Amino acid sequence: MSGDGPDQAEPRILRPWETEFPRTADDDGDDAAPIPVDESTHAEVDGEAADEEPPSFGDLGSGPTSLDEFTNDDYIAATTREYQGLAEEVARAAEEDVERQAVAASLPGVGSGLIGFDDVTGVKGLSEEEVEAAEQQRASDLTLRVGTAIVLVAIFLGTLLLGQVWFAGFVAIVMLISLSEFYTTVRSRGFSPVALFGFLAVLGGAVGTLRSGPVAIGVSLGVCTAITALFYGAAGRRNPVENVSLTLMGAAWISLLAFAIAITAAPENYEGLILLVVLLTAAFDAGSYFAGRAMGRRLMAPQVSPKKTWEGFVGGVLTAFVLASILSTFKAIFVVDLTQALMTAGMIVVLAPLGDAAESVVKRALDTKDMGSLLPGHGGMLDRIDALLFVVPGAYLLFQYFGLV
């Protein structure tokens, strides 16, 4: 721009759709050059007025237009100067070596430094202090479990060595505690079993077995059934079928442990027989636990017990059979030979999982994790004897078959 004259506008090159190029053809068929156009007036140089309207894109395809003969050269001539040399610049830039550099950008809500899981998920992660506290808690739980197990085993061995009556009393107390846990859990779900009748049935079965054998278990349960039915019929309480069933179910289930008292009638070394059953059951349980944790992949019954795996079961079976082979060498204590010990282990590896599964079904139906909290680190007493409730009756029948009881 100059100060002594009007502004001089830069000439603009018209695009093909802004004007038309009249063309002629010579005898050879070559395209003739376009007629020059005055860029300021859009008029032809020879003075002919450009009063015709430019072609419309809507007219394309409806008939011949001046754009039908538009060529590539025409397009290049009509483009703006801004694109001149662009291809060469792109090619030259592609040949140059460029050093890559990291680009930092600030994001709203995210601070500087490393981005953790809490930044991505929105859940706050554990601090080092919290992780350390959790590890200490797990170590404390393990210590508590071991301590509780030692106390329980000491009481069991003490009463077993003190004599038949002491051991029968220990079994009766365990049965009453287990039944109390069952009735408490059932009551928390809105049912109303008559706990008194169940306690009398269990206690009568324990005392009767000590004096007259396992037939007393059936007699005691029969009397309990009659009394419970009469009570609900006379009292007219609500839901009699459910409550009578739960009362008798708990008593019958827990009374199975009274077969341990029946084994004490063995004429020779009943302590060894009971100890053999308990040790093999514990070995199967421990072997299943550690093998399942180390190699467990395929679930046995995910709907009943989601933590039991076939790998754990195989580990428990091997552990029980190996221990049975070892214990059979101490015939003075366990009074069984190798065949009898292996048959006992075989019975246990079949019935122990069924005992666990039975309690798992009950707990799932009652929507509870543990039947009680009497034993720190172990849950309730019923949670500890669930496998023995099926194993002990089987052991009694097997020992009878061997002629040991």
Of 223, 247, 265, the residue that ends a domain is 265
- Identify the pLDDT of residue 308: 85
pLDDT digit string, tens, across residues 253-300: 999 999 999 999 988 889 999 999 999 999 999 999 899 888 888 888
Examine residue 63 and state whether it is found in any structural domain, yes or no.
Answer: yes
pLDDT in tens, 194-204: 999 999 999 99
**Per-residue pLDDT tens over the stretch 372-396:** 767 666 678 898 899 999 999 999 9
Query: In sequence order, what are the residues at sequence separation of 6 or more whose Cβ sits closer than 8 angstroms to the Cβ of residue 301?
Result: 308, 357
The residue from 213, 231, 265 where one domain ends is 265
Task: Using the Cα atoms of residue 128, residue 130, residue 132 and residue 138 in order, give the sign of their dihedral.
Answer: negative
Share of the chain above pLDDT 70, in %: 66
Residue 285 lies in a domain: yes
Stated length of the chain:
405
Q: 291 and 261 in one domain?
A: no
Same domain? For 146 and 43 the reply is: no
Q: Do residues 194 and 295 both lie within one domain?
A: no
How many domains does the chain divide into? 3
Q: Quick one: CA dihedral 278, 281, 285, 288, positive or negative?
A: positive
Q: Taking a C-beta distance cutoff of 8 angstroms, is the pair 335, 273 a contact?
A: yes
- Asked whether residue 29 carries a pLDDT value surpassing 50, the answer given is no
Task: Indicate whether 362 belongs to any domain.
Answer: yes
Element (H, E) at 348: helix 338-366
Residues 213 and 273 in one domain: no
User: Residue 1 domain-assigned?
Assistant: no
Q: Which helix (H) or strand (E) holds 306?
A: strand 305-309
Residue 171 lies in a domain: yes
pLDDT at 380: 82
Which range among 1-5, 50-54, 78-82, 337-341 shows the weakest confidence by mean pLDDT? Answer: 1-5
Range of the domain at 276: 266-405
Structure tokens at 329: 């060498």
pLDDT per residue over 8-23, tens digit each? Answer: 555 555 555 555 544 4
Which position has the higher pLDDT, 187 or 45?
187
Weakest mean pLDDT among 67-71, 111-115, 126-130, 401-405:
111-115
Query: 194 and 300: one domain?
Result: no
Residue 114 inside a domain? The answer is no
